[in-house]
């Protein structure tokens, strides 16, 4: 019985060692700014056109020091991504706050590129 436990433990250790060669892939989280001045900085990996509530948005997948982040479906940010950002760009997105336009909320951003 004791020998079987040791053998199984050895198998687990060998498997863990083999897995060190692999990189775990997680789904990106959606970046959600809460306060004015919150920011996200990183490299644009992909830009995709998506439909949400029958509206088209452009969403960027950004690789930052903290991992991969997807930009939120906010019209102001989507327009800036669609018009001026390319895959491979280093960007910084700064949340400027939320304003009311009529009865709707609008999230405003500054986007910087280098």
Q: State the distance between the two ends of the chain, measured CA to CA, in whole angstroms.
A: 63
Domain-embedded: residue 17: no
Q: At residue 4, does pLDDT exceed 80?
A: no
pLDDT in tens, 32-74: 999 999 999 999 999 999 998 899 999 999 999 999 999 999 9
Q: pLDDT confidence of 5, banded at 50, 70, 90?
A: low
Q: What is the CATH number of the domain that holds 102?
A: 2.40.50
Answer whether residue 80 is part of any domain: yes
Q: Are 93 and 38 in contact (CB under 8 A)?
A: no
pTM above 0.85, yes or no: no
Instruction: Provide the domain limits for residue 62.
Output: 26-113
Asked if the structure places residue 89 within a domain, the reply is: yes
Give the strand pairing for 39-52 and 55-64.
antiparallel
Residue 106's nearest CA partner among 60, 72, 59 is 72
* 7 assigned to some structural domain: no
């Amino acid at each position: 019985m004791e020998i079987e436990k040791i053998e199984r433990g050895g198998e687990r250790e060998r498997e863990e060692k083999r897995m060190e060669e692999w990189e775990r892939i997680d789904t990106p989280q959606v970046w959600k700014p809460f306060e004015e001045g919150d920011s996200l900085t990183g490299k644009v990996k992909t830009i995709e056109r998506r439909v949400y509530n029958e509206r088209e948005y452009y969403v960027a997948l950004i690789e930052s020091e903290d991992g991969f982040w997807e930009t939120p479906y906010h019209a102001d940010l989507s327009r800036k991504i669609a018009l001026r950002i390319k895959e491979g760009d280093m960007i910084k997105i700064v949340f400027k706050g939320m304003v009311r336009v009529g009865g709707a909320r609008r999230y405003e951003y500054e986007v910087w590129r280098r």
